[in-house]
Amino acid sequence: MTTLITGGAGFIGGHTVLAFLDRGEIPIVLDDLSTGIREAVPPNVPFFVGDVGDTELVSRLIRNHRIDAILHFAAKIVVPESVVDPLKYYFANTVKTHALLQTAVRGKVRRFVFSSSAAVYGNPSSTPVDETAHPAPLSPYGMSKLMSEYMLIDTSAACNLRHVILRYFNVAGADPAGRLGQSTPGATHLIKVALETALRRRPYMNIYGSDYPTPDGTCVRDYVHVSDLARAHLAALDYLRNGGGSRTLNCGYGRGYSVREVVDAVRMVAGVDFETRQAPRRAGDPASIVANSDQLVSLGWKPELNDLPKMIEHACNWEKKLASVERTARGQPSGVVDVAGNASHAPAVP
Ligand code: UFG
């Protein structure tokens, strides 16, 4: 039996593929390459370019590869973009998850791990927030994830399917061994933006909002290392394989850092100063959100990289690698830049 990873060429999905390989298990990957990068997935992993909403393709994958579990990462993830273009998010994140779930149920897939988000909480009234808090998303992105959660819960109750919903807090860092990192161009996430500024790829960066009800007036987030998050998926899948029932679980470290604290940590790790500019609040941003992840820990998750400077250092190493690969690529006639250091490989047959 095999696990299907949707969005496995993306940042979090790609690190989860590596976590599978590190323990000797080979999944298959489906990714439409809208933001993912083909070279993020090592050549020994069967890779299919396609859409999770393509029921014919997904049915064929389930049948031909004897898929018994799906890890569903493929999604649009930029909160401010979702405010500007909500229907894009409801289509990509909710409508397509509906199609995938329907295909999974028809294909008799028994286990489903869903990438949800702390964005479902909005501005929680208690902090750290646990999974019993009432969800109240502030953005279409958060709502698109919450709607998918509801579909999954109802479907599991009605069918022979068990799931784990993982609500990610702010995912950062890069593979400690340097195999992978965040490569999608046009970054909007804080640590990547700050590192690009530190490496002089941007002249300055904005700090969105300084009047939030937080200690220094900037937003507070719980930053979780992407490799720890990848291992959370293995813990969730093992739990389901061992017969565990459906659960919704937070994934964060339980410690919040303000935007200013993160920027200072980036300056310290990169060893350079850079310009920040105060900008107005960004639409859809909650003031402060920090996870209580006790339930995930009790299920077997062991965070190993709970250290903000380390996380930034790993991401910084990746940014430097990206910059040097791009410099080299500029001297080459054409072709894909192989940021993960893999050989080019042709798509597999579904
Ligand atoms: N920020 C800046 N300047 C920037 C970029 C970000 O000040 O250039 C601020 C944001 O306004 C926010 C904080 O840094 O206050 C974090 O912003 P990110 O864009 O890095 O992340 P978000 O909190 O908006 O969203 C991320 C994920 C979501 C997830 C959420 C959970 O993208 O999928 O964390 O908290 F839901």
Terminal alpha carbon distance of the chain: 16
Contact call for residues 262 and 223 (beta carbons, < 8 A) = yes
Catalytic residue among 89, 90, 121, 141: 141
Query: Does residue 242 form part of some domain?
Result: yes
Length of the chain: 350
Query: Does residue 265 form part of some domain?
Result: no
For residue 151, which phi and psi values (nearest 5 degrees)?
-60, -40
Question: Per residue in 311-332, pLDDT tens?
Answer: 999 999 999 999 888 788 777 5
CATH number at residue 10: 3.40.50.720
Query: Does residue 22 form part of some domain?
Result: yes
Structure tokens at 17: 């593929």
Query: Does residue 96 form part of some domain?
Result: yes
Number of domains in the chain: 1
Query: Does residue 294 form part of some domain?
Result: no
Question: Of all atoms in ligand 1, which is nearest to the CA of residue 259?
Answer: 14
Question: Of all atoms in ligand 1, which is nearest to the CA of residue 194?
Answer: 8
The CB of 83 under 6 Å from ligand 1? The reply is: no
d(CA 230, CA 304): 11
The strand ranges marked E within the chain are 2-6, 28-31, 47-49, 67-72, 111-117, 162-168, 170-172, 204-208, 220-221, 223-225, 247-251, 257-258, 275-279, 288-289
Query: Does residue 128 form part of some domain?
Result: yes
Distance 152 CA to ligand 1 centre (A): 26
Question: Per residue in 35-56, pLDDT tens?
Answer: 999 999 999 999 999 999 999 9
Query: Does residue 31 form part of some domain?
Result: yes
The CB of 81 under 6 Å from ligand 1? The reply is: no
d(CA 87, CA 82): 8
Q: Which candidate, 136, 84, 138, 128, places its Cα nearest to that of 285?
A: 138
Question: Per residue in 294-308, pLDDT tens?
Answer: 999 999 999 999 999
**Residue 159 is part of which domain span?**
2-171+224-251
Question: Of all atoms in ligand 1, which is nearest to the CA of residue 78?
Answer: 32
d(CA 63, CA 59): 6
pLDDT tier for residue 242 given thresholds of 50, 70 and 90: very high
**pTM attached to this predicted model:** 0.94
264: which residues sit within 8 A by CB, 6+ positions away? none
Query: Does residue 24 form part of some domain?
Result: yes
Structure tokens at 255: 């410690």
